[in-house]
Amino acid sequence: MINMVKESTYSGGRVYVCEKCGLKYRERIWAEKCEEFCTKHNACSIEITKHAIK
C-alpha cells in the first residue's frame, strides 16, 4: 500500500505531514501511523498525536 505522507519543512528541518489531519512529525513512521489511523477511523489517536510537533 502506498502511503501519502507528505514531506515538508518546519523550523529549518524536514518533517512529515499527515495529509488527513495536517499534523507534523519529525519521524516518518509516526506520520504514517497517524495517516493510517486517521484514514481508518476518521479521527486521531492521542497515542500517535503526542509524537506530533506542537
Interface with Zn ion (CB under 5 A) = 18, 20-21, 34, 38
Cell 509516526 locates to 30
Tell me how many degrees the CA angle 40-50-30 measures, rounded to the nearest 5. 55
Helix, strand, coil share (%) of the chain residues, nearest 5? 35, 25, 45
Please state the closest distance from residue 11 (CB atom) to Zn ion, in A.
20
Compare residues 12 and 50 and give the one whose CB is closer to Zn ion. 50
Please state the closest distance from residue 41 (CB atom) to Zn ion, in A.
10
Please state the closest distance from residue 17 (CB atom) to Zn ion, in A.
9
